[in-house]
Amino acid sequence: MSESTVVVFGDQPPVHLDRVADRAKVLVCDENSLPQALPAADVLLVWDFTSDAVRDAWPGEGHRPAWVHTASAGVDRLLCPELVTSDTVLTNARGVFEQPIAEYVAGLVISMAKDFHGTWELQRQRRWQHRETMRLAGTRAVVVGAGPIGRAIDSTLASLGVVVDLVGRTARPGVRGGDELPELLPSADWVVCAAPLTDATRGMFDRTIFDRMKSTARFINVGRGPLVVEKDLTAALVARRIGGAALDVFEHEPLASDDPLWDVPGLFISPHMSGDTVGWRDHLADQFQDNYERWCAGEPLLNVVDKRLGYVPVD
């Protein structure tokens, strides 16, 4: 194969792409230079996966990258009709974030069950107030999203003694179908969203869902912000129709300092960090370079996204 051109989109590109740089011309661009760089790209690495710039700049006609890789699990910020219908192969970072996110969810569940926030607040007040907390083993969780992240959350919570119902788009062995979700919610102590963002899932967690949850249940979203109707979640928390919630993703990011969500009672907010552990950028760079070597060798790429579904089909 003749020397290819790899365009890396992002203000902070990976610290090393040595294996790619030895075999290709590497161009780093930002939002302003991306439209000019795309026509030259054989491969596009989307390092800044929080931007809509690729979708906005994608060429409708003419030369386009043969392969696009995003350093994220979700691909919703990339997909546009022109990319979906093109012959460009799209891959994602499946395999990097699953276990860290599962551990983060488990940490939230333990923290909520054991009221660590309340203990910290009482310590801050120098108050000795004995309390009883929730036993985690034997509680029930509904995890919505049966992809790799959802399955990692399932197994991690199960190891703590939580009884888990994993819910996917369609029913299959070990997975409940989406049409079963309403009947599962009333008995759930934990409802965890790890679903991909598609036209079918956008806004799926609305007042109807929160009204079906029991008053002590907690809701956690580590999927995508637009999966949740934030005003409906806020209303449920303010009225104490559910016991609490934790959001790691939001409809608009970063969350503005004057956003009313900061003051919602019973809501734990984190800045889209559930999958980001020490060394994660190196893991992402290595994953892309491994796949690049497969591409150069004419071998099938790993983590190929079904662009019409918006995710990598489950094996």
- Model pLDDT, residue 2: 67
pLDDT (mean) for 47-72: 91
Read off the pLDDT band of 123 (50, 70, 90): very high
- Model pLDDT, residue 186: 98
- Model pLDDT, residue 62: 77
Neighbours of 245 (CB within 10 A): 25
Under CATH, domain 2-93+277-295 is a member of which superfamily? NAD(P)-binding Rossmann-like Domain (3.40.50.720)
Looking at residue 198, the DSSP 8-state letter turns out to be -
pLDDT (mean) for 155-164: 98
Is the model more confident about 314 or about 93?
A: 93
| Domain 97-267, architecture per CATH | 3-Layer(aba) Sandwich (3.40)
Is the model more confident about 12 or about 6?
A: 6
Is the model more confident about 315 or about 182?
A: 182
For residue 283, with 0-12 CB atoms within 10 Å meaning exposed, 13-18 middle and 19 or more buried, which class applies? middle
Helices (H), the chain: 18-21, 34-37, 53-57, 81-85, 98-113, 116-124, 148-159, 181-184, 207-212, 230-238, 280-296
Q: What is the pLDDT of residues 188-239, one digit of tens each?
A: 999 999 999 999 999 999 999 999 999 999 999 999 999 999 999 999 999 9
Which residues are known to be catalytic?
A: 224, 253, 272
Q: What is the pLDDT of residues 226-271, one digit of tens each?
A: 999 999 999 999 999 999 999 999 999 999 999 999 999 999 999 9
Our CA dihedral for 59, 60, 64, 65, rounded to 10 degrees, sits at: 80
CB-based contacts of 95, cutoff 8 Å, min separation 6: 148, 287, 303
What are the start and end residues of each CATH 3.40.50.720 domain in the chain? 2-93+277-295, 97-267
DSSP state letters, 116-158? HHHHHHHHHTT----------TT-EEEEE--SHHHHHHHHHHH
Cut 0.85: pTM above it: yes
Nearest Cα to Cα of residue 28 among 44, 50, 51, 4: 44
Q: Residue 63: pLDDT above 90?
A: no
Q: What is the pLDDT of residues 26-51, one digit of tens each?
A: 999 999 999 999 999 999 999 999 99
CA distances from 272 to 223, 254, 268, 297 (A): 10, 9, 12, 36
Read off the pLDDT band of 12 (50, 70, 90): confident
